[in-house]
Amino acid sequence: MPASPTPPVSDDLDLFADDVLVDPYPTYSRLRDLGAVVHLPTNDVYALTRYDAIRSALGDWETFSSAGAIGFNPMVNEALTGTSLSSDPPVHTQLRAALTENLTPRALRGLKDQIDAKADALVADLVEQGSFEAIDALARAFPLEVVADLIGFTGEVRGNMLRWGQAAMQVIGPLNQRTAESFPIAGELYGWCSNVTADDLAPGSVGRGIFDAEARGDIPPGSAGHIIHQYLGAGVDSTIAAIGNVVALFAAHPDQLELVRKDPALVPAAFNEALRYWAPLHAWGRRTTRDVEIDGAVVPAGAQVALLFGAGNHDPRHYDNPEAFLVERNPADHLSFGYGPHGCAGQGLARLEAHAIIDALSRRVQSLTVADAQRVPHNTVRSIDRLPVLEVVPA
């Protein structure tokens, strides 16, 4: 019998090198040209690079397993055992139900007016200032407050949310220096979530509700802390990245901001396009449970797979003119929230937050002048670290 065709190889590429993490899109393009799946020996992974291959893998949990596989080092995968992020159905189904109970459109409907009002007040204050640092003052400040209030975080925990959330995502990468430096900080979050009780969270909060679900037997004993870990560990940093990207993209593309100003119905489409254009997550892991053929090449059973959401979102086989930022495109099928059983559990909340910010910006801002965006390498989340807004022209 003839040997099964093997995927193309990129021998010298480190998917987590500093320059790739800061601007991965040239690398994504080269990898897509090589094939839908490319073997990267430096990282010992098989990278999925094209839209159809990534979406197919996301929908096939039986072949592309999340159990002990979403991270790119064994220590983080062991630490995440028992979470919905790192499990497959049926365990995943039960854990996710508790995680998403308070994140359904119906549950979030009651938060919309409150979140819209907070966003409008924050943007109005920043516009009045005339210049501000967009990441600290807006992209970080807003989701941190929203999530803290939602889960019921109080006291010093609120002050630790940013560093804990950043570290929790950083350690999903390989065992490089960034991961090593972040493990002690991620350990603080893990330790707190392992010991948190209902009394540590504000009355009436979603966090209290998760402990109520545990008490009813709706989720396994001891899993409430794991679920609260995911709210903070998996959701905050990526939302911060998405909102920062929105500000930078509107500054760079004033014509697209003007389209949203003229037609507020474009707010959801603008967020979809921002997520497509600059995916907040760089790479996410899976492990194959069997030999699987992708675009004519065979990935062996037991292989670590890296899903490159940003590469798929710029695949010209799926999106016309993918290098253009066009709010009227409305790519509702972008990959940045994942797809299938593990589609982002918090995407409804992220949309609520980002839509509120985009709506407030489109009503209150005619144009933004910004300094160069500063990005720092992060293993998992591609975000802007500093974005000085030099001038705001009010609407």
CATH of the domain at 233: 1.10.630.10
> Is the pLDDT score of 181 beyond 70?
yes
Pairing of strands 132-133, 45-48: unpaired
Quick count: other Cβ atoms within 10 Å of Cβ 312?
A: 29
Task: State how far the alpha carbon of 169 is from the alpha carbons of 35, 153, 281, 374, in Å.
Answer: 28, 19, 9, 19
Q: Which residues form the domain of 224?
A: 18-394
Asked whether the beta carbons of 15 and 283 are under 8 A apart, the reply is yes
Largest Cα–Cα separation, the chain: 72
Task: Spell out the residues 6+ positions from residue 64 whose beta carbon is closer than 8 angstroms to its own.
Answer: 57, 58, 286, 287, 288, 289, 292, 305
Strand 45-48 versus strand 37-40 pairing type: antiparallel
Tokens, residue 252: 């760079």
Residue 8 in domain: no
> CA 220, CA 82: separation in Å to the nearest integer?
10
> How far is 70 from 305, CA to CA, in rounded Å?
9
- Distance from C-alpha of 201 to C-alpha of 193, rounded to nearest angstrom: 11
Main-chain phi, psi angles of 383, to 5 degrees: -135, 165
- pLDDT tens-digit readout, 290-341: 999 999 999 999 999 999 999 999 999 999 999 999 999 999 999 999 999 8
Residue 113, classified by CB atoms within 10 Å of its CB into exposed (0-12), middle (13-18) or buried (19+), is exposed
What is the distance between the alpha carbons of residues 302 and 343, in angstroms, rounded to a whole number? Answer: 22
Domain count for the chain = 1
Residue 337, domain member (yes or no): yes
Domain contains 109: yes
Residue 94: its pLDDT value, please? 76
What's the confidence (pLDDT) of residue 265? 98
Question: DSSP letter string over 84-126?
Answer: STT--TTHHHHHHHHHHTTTSHHHHHHHHHHHHHHHHHHHHHH
**Average confidence (pLDDT) over 228-234:** 78
Sign for the CA dihedral angle at 307, 309, 310, 315 comes to positive
* Helices 105-129 & 347-364 angle (0-180, nearest 10): 30
pLDDT (tens digit per residue) in 58-114:
999 999 999 999 999 999 999 888 788 889 998 888 777 766 776 777 778 888 999
Give the CB-side neighbour count of residue 393, counting CA atoms within 13 A: 9
Q: Which residues of 183-206 are buried (b: 16+ CB within 10 A; e: fewer)?
A: bebbeebbebbeebebebbeeebb
How much is the CA Rg of the chain, to the nearest whole Å? 21
CA distance 76 to 73: 6
pLDDT in tens, 250-272: 999 999 999 999 999 999 999 99
Q: What is the mean pLDDT of the chain?
A: 93
Q: Is residue 13 part of a domain?
A: no
Question: Is 120 within the bounds of a domain?
Answer: yes
Alpha-carbon distances, residue 36 vs 8, 39, 43, 280, 362 (angstroms):
9, 10, 17, 21, 38
Q: Which of 199-203, 260-264, 344-348 has the highest mean pLDDT?
A: 260-264
Asked if pLDDT for residue 345 goes beyond 90, the answer is: no
CA-nearest of 281, 303, 194 to 235 is 281
Q: Quick: pLDDT tens for 365-379.
A: 999 999 999 999 999
pLDDT of residue 346: 85
* Assigned domain for 201 exists: yes
Residue 23 lies in a domain: yes
Residue 368, H or E segment: strand 365-370
Sign of CA dihedral 95, 97, 98, 100: positive
- Counting residues of the chain whose pLDDT is more than 90, the rounded percentage is 76
Domain-located, residue 10:
no
The residue assigned the tokens 């600059």 is 278
Distance (Å, whole) CA 47 – CA 38: 5
